[in-house]
């Protein structure tokens, strides 16, 4: 599937997170914006940097009315260990079959190996894709989102 375009309806999902809780995009409807960020693999250098940047910027992001949700094709146990090791306070969705990543045009399927592409989606409270960050930069993605959120809230 192709990457959802800005202004389009964000594909819904219902996936278990690292704590075993089922998370749906509808859980956030009408409340907050959602940063849905896809990343290749738990506990690898770039993925750790990106997750920790979101963790470190959490206060600024929540002040802007945002919830953070990470997604990779790793399983729940891998997510649990990753979240614990790096004190990640936001859900990591276990998309082991790659179905969610596929719906967001973010699955890199090499046959025997599947990983999520490093794409980030900013979704508004009405479930529309407000901004798309393809091949997000691990060290700048969180700040880019903050800068864009400031512009969106200023309007």
Enzyme catalytic residues: 47
Distance of alpha carbon 143 from alpha carbon 69, whole angstroms: 16
Distances (CA, A) of 40 to 65, 66, 70, 116, 150: 26, 22, 10, 5, 28
CA end-to-end span of the chain, whole Å?
32
- Mapped onto helix, strand or coil, the DSSP state of residue 5 is coil
- What sign does the dihedral 26-11-117-109 (CA atoms) show? positive
């Amino acid at each position: 599937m192709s990457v959802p375009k800005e202004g389009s309806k964000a594909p819904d999902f219902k996936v278990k997170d690292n704590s075993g809780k089922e998370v749906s995009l509808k859980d956030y409807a009408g409340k907050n914006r959602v940063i849905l960020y896809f990343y290749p693999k738990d506990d690898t250098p770039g993925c750790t940097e990106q997750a920790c940047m979101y963790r470190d910027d959490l206060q600024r992001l929540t002040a802007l009315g945002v919830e953070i949700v990470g997604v990779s094709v790793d399983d729940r146990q891998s997510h649990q260990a990753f979240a614990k090791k790096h004190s990640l306070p936001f859900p990591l969705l276990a998309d082991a079959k790659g179905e969610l990543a596929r719906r967001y045009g973010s699955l890199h399927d090499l046959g025997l190996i599947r990983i999520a592409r490093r794409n980030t989606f900013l979704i508004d409270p009405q479930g529309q894709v407000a901004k798309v960050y393809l091949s997000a930069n691990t060290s700048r993605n969180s700040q880019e989102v903050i800068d864009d959120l400031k512009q969106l809230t200023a309007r």
